[in-house]
Amino acid sequence: MFKSKKESSVRDLVDDHLSRTEKCLEAAQSVFVAYLAGDLLAADENATKVEKYERAADKLRREIYALLGEGAFLPIMRADIHALVGDLDDLAGLAEDFSDAIVGERPEIPPAYREVLVEIFDKTTHQFSELKAGIHQFFFAKRIDEKETRKIIHRVAQAEYEIDQIEWDLTRQIFDSNLPLANKLHLKHFLGQLTIISNKVEDVSDTLSELMVKLQA
């Protein structure tokens, strides 16, 4: 009598959205790896997958918004769940932007920087896996383990900090190099498109943190 189908649907849709966003990120990573290996055909194929997952995530976001608008969850949490899903969707959008930048702009990446860029992407996907576990716990646990969720939020923030450090070091290396200025600026822009994904993962974890506070109210 009192169980809410809307809330159950929102939880399932958020879970589905997380999976699509994760696949979107993995496909974007595949685009990058294929591009670095010189396999442009594979890069294009994976870019198509990125678009497909991003569109699917976008559709899920709209369905979640509609259910929230119909009154799923208490109002005190509704706005934060809305924000969380919005940020999550932006994340898929940023992965698509990164993928488009590779196949569209085809940046020249000197071999010396490739390993570091791959490391940043690895750290980002790992960071997202942590976030996914935290969000899943929040929505599905019979009793939320607050300490564990706080640890996850901390690890997500730590990963973002580490990626920031790597970005700074790489930026210095790029601008200390003998590359033409146009290449330097292009690489810097490309690097920014990669690291912004990690920033967005941290934004989502901040919203999760706000939801945790409201749950304790």
Partner 1 sequence: MWQFTSGAFLGWSLGSNDAANVFGTGVATNLVRYRTAVILIAVFVILGAALEGPKCMATLGELSKLKPELAFISALAAGLTLFIMSMLSLPVSSSQAIVGALLAVGMVNGSANYSMLIKIVLCWVLTPISGTILGIGLYLLLRWILQPLLNSMRWRTPVLRTAVILAGCYGAYSMGGNNVANVSGVYVSTGQLSTSAASLFGGIAIALGVLTYSKNVMLTVGKGIFALDAYSAFVSVLALALSSHIFTQIGVPVSGTQAIVGAIVGIGLLKDMRGISRKMIAQISLAWIGTPLVAAIACYVLMMIGSLV
Q: Which residues bind partner 1 (CB under 8 A)?
A: 2-4, 7, 11, 71, 73-76, 138-144, 146, 215-217
Nearer to partner 1, 58 or 63 (CB): 63
Nearer to partner 1, 40 or 141 (CB): 141
Nearer to partner 1, 27 or 211 (CB): 211
CA dist., res. 184 & res. 182, Å (int): 5
Nearer to partner 1, 38 or 143 (CB): 143
**Cβ 72 to partner 1 shortest distance, Å:** 8
Nearer to partner 1, 111 or 143 (CB): 143
**Cβ 151 to partner 1 shortest distance, Å:** 17
Encoding tokens for residue 9? Answer: 């649907």
Nearer to partner 1, 178 or 216 (CB): 216
User: Helix axis angle, 5-36 relative to 40-69, nearest 10°?
Assistant: 160
**Cβ 1 to partner 1 shortest distance, Å:** 8
**Cβ 211 to partner 1 shortest distance, Å:** 9
**Cβ 147 to partner 1 shortest distance, Å:** 12
DSSP string, the chain: ----HHHHHHHHHHHHHHHHHHHHHHHHHHHHHHHHTT-HHHHHHHHHHHHHHHHHHHHHHHHHHHHHHTT-S-HHHHHHHHHHHHHHHHHHHHHHHHHHHHHHH-----HHHHHHHHHHHHHHHHHHHHHHHHHHHHHH-SS--HHHHHHHHHHHHHHHHHHHHHHHHHHHHHHHS-S-HHHHHHHHHHHHHHHHHHHHHHHHHHHHHHHHHHHH-
**Cβ 143 to partner 1 shortest distance, Å:** 5
